[in-house]
Chains A and B, each alone.
Chain A
Amino acid sequence: MSMIVTTRHPNDDPAIQIRVGGLFHTFRTVRAGWILDLKSATAFRGDLVIGTLVSMFWVIFAIAPVLVAGYYLGEGAGWTQARLLFLQAIWYWMDAVNWVFCVRNTNGLATDIRNGRLDGRLLLPGDSLLRVMLGQLGVQDLPKFLIAIGLAAYAIQAGAFPGGVWHIIGFVVCLIAASVMFWAIAVLSFLPAITLFKFEGDVIVNAIHNLNRVPADLYTPWLHALFSTALPIVLITTVPSRVFFGWSPWWMPIVCVIAAFVLLVVLRYLWARQLRHYVGFQN
């Protein structure tokens, strides 16, 4: 819902017009929330330091299987140790997306449903999906993005070379689309909480996230077929890697963008549908 609201500045400045409730206004409120989170993070720098140190430990554990398996892999199905490390970098990027954009918002949704705060948040002007599910930022996990980029650079230096310039551009498109898809999947996983009140969607997100730790082509043929069609998680880490190495056809980035768009449309539809069945609840 969008409307023109005329308001007067507290200092008796001339009246200014603000379009309240439009998409632009929503983005401004989301941005304001993020800035607030960043300012809080500067006040609690200890959290950021601990978060960075823990993230650095975890990246070692995350790549451990690939490092060990890499000694025995050789050129197995094209997935050398360096290429698997590159895939791990994308996986870690998705981990950053999860902790920075998803976890705080999805957990916040679950809490707000139980204590009744969601009722109030839904009355705020603007797009409710974006405001509720993207309004908070997990600032202490922001360094994960830098760690992922560092890991990718190391993998490239170790031999995971790109196919060419167009493949790098295609990879960036795929990575952005995959990040959007991951956020959408995380939100979708928590939607049942709106009507069930208690639903642990994080287990589903973690399952999908963990399946992406290894290239989808390494799974048994029937699982690979499942992950490429009915449950297309192959688009999250495997396809961006394959596009980067130049192993995928030129139209694959377009498929990723279309898939992300379709997922967003489905998410918006299901969000509205769930909210229609939402009843205020206070525990």
Chain B
Amino acid sequence: MTRAASLVAWLRLESRAAFMYRAKLMIGLFGWVVPLAFMALWNLAADGSGIMSANQTSAYYLVILLTTNLFLGGEIIFGFASRVYTGELSGLMLMPFPSLLAILPAPLMQALIRCAPLTVALGLLTWALDADFQISVFTALIAVLLGFFGWIASVLFCYLYALTALWIGKSEGILGLFFGFWWVLSGLVAPSVFMPGWLGWVMRLSPLWLAVGGMGELLSGVVTPSWWMPVSLGVWIAGLAALLRWAWPRAMRRFEAIGI
């Protein structure tokens, strides 16, 4: 069996498992409340700002619901740290494809299956909140590219961060700090246009914003669609992939294959 065929077979297996364990699917829906909570806050704040309307912030956070649902940072970072800590990584290294990939199939399939109820919820919420989407053909094209490349860039970014587990062990507090930065830089806390000047610029340059908040600002009409967004993501992907290729063997030299 080729590498690709074995990976596809695993993805198919995980999709069946995710569908069978529907309770987990339902539990995953509770993760949606964070964007909804911040939407409530920004609906109030945005109206007086003159930067975005409440309807635009609703549209922004509905897109964020979709992009954060597909973000697998928690599963990658804590999943990898846990496998290092328990020694399970030793077994994964025997697989016919890079062991880093072995963390992905289960959460990816769960996220994709969650997209089905999410699509229905997004439709209902768009109607209930009167969300103001501003979509043209070009905007839609850039948004699709952002979604695809953004997801790849965020996965590579999280893989790189996950490697720190080989230096700091299973310190969940320190590993979890990533999510604090992710909240701010991705645009979950607030759209970049509301951030103080320099922070807004830092956000817009980061792959986390391009992967999560960028599509929201694009589809709510706050940011003008431009080729620079997918192109800069392409540059990020190339850089992150090269860095991961360099860091992976160095990190793995620290793996002692001792589990608990």
Q: Give me the interface of A with B, judged by CB distance under 8 Å.
A: 50-51, 54, 57-58, 60-61, 64-66, 68-74, 76-77, 79, 196, 199-200, 203-204, 206-207, 210-211, 213-214, 218-220, 223
Contacts and interface: CB of A to CB of B under 8 A. Distances in A.
A58 B174 CA distance: 10
Indicate the member of A51, A210, A211 with the most B CB atoms within 10 Å.
Answer: A210
Most A-side CB within 10 Å, residue of B36, B45, B129, B195: B45
Given A204-B27, A220-B128, A213 B37 contact: yes
B190 A203 contact: no
Which of B23, B30, B171, B196: most chain A CB closer than 10 A? B30
A60 B180 contact: yes
A206 B179 CA distance: 15
A199 B30 CA distance: 14
18 contacts: A50-B173, A51-B173, A58-B177, A66-B41, A69-B194, A72-B46, A72-B48, A76-B45, A77-B44, A79-B44, A196-B23, A199-B23, A203-B31, A204-B27, A204-B30, A207-B30, A213-B38, A218-B40
Interface string B167-202: 000010110110011011000011000111000000
B34 interface: yes
Q: Tell me what chain A mostly uses at the interface: helix, strand, loop, or mixed.
A: helix
Given A68-B194, A68-B195, 7 more contacts: A61-B184, A64-B189, A65-B189, A69-B41, A69-B194, A219-B40, A220-B128
Contacts of B28: 203
A103 to B, nearest CB: 11
B44 A58 contact: no
A158 to B, nearest CB: 17
A72 B50 CA distance: 9
CB-based closest 7 A-B pairs = A61-B180, A207-B30, A54-B173, A69-B45, A72-B49, A72-B45, A218-B40
Contacts of A54: 173-174, 176-177
A201 to B, nearest CB: 9
Contacts, number: 93
B45 A206 contact: no
A68 to B, nearest CB: 5
A210 B48 contact: no
A32 to B, nearest CB: 27
Contacts of A200: 24, 27
Interface string B111-136: 00000000000000000110000000
A57 B33 contact: no
Interface of B is mostly: helix
A13 B174 CA distance: 51
A220 B40 contact: yes
B160 to A, nearest CB: 20
B27 A64 contact: no
Contacts of A66: 41
A68 B189 contact: yes
B48 A74 contact: yes
Contacts of B27: 200, 203-204
A54 B51 CA distance: 34
A72 B48 CA distance: 6
Given A69-B41, A220-B40, A210 B33 contact: yes
B177 A57 contact: yes
A58 B189 CA distance: 13
Given A200-B24, A203-B27, A203-B28, A210 B41 contact: no
B184 A214 contact: no
B43 interface: yes
Contacts of B196: 68
Contacts of A51: 173
Contacts of A64: 183-184, 189-190
B151 interface: no
B41 A58 contact: no
Contacts of B51: 72
A75 to B, nearest CB: 10
A185 B40 CA distance: 23
B48 A76 contact: yes
Contacts of B176: 54, 58
B45 A211 contact: no
Given A69-B190, A200-B27, A211-B37, A218 B180 contact: no
B149 interface: no
A210 B44 contact: no
A218 to B, nearest CB: 4
B159 interface: no
A234 to B, nearest CB: 13
A64 B38 CA distance: 11
Contacts of A57: 177, 180
A68 B195 CA distance: 7
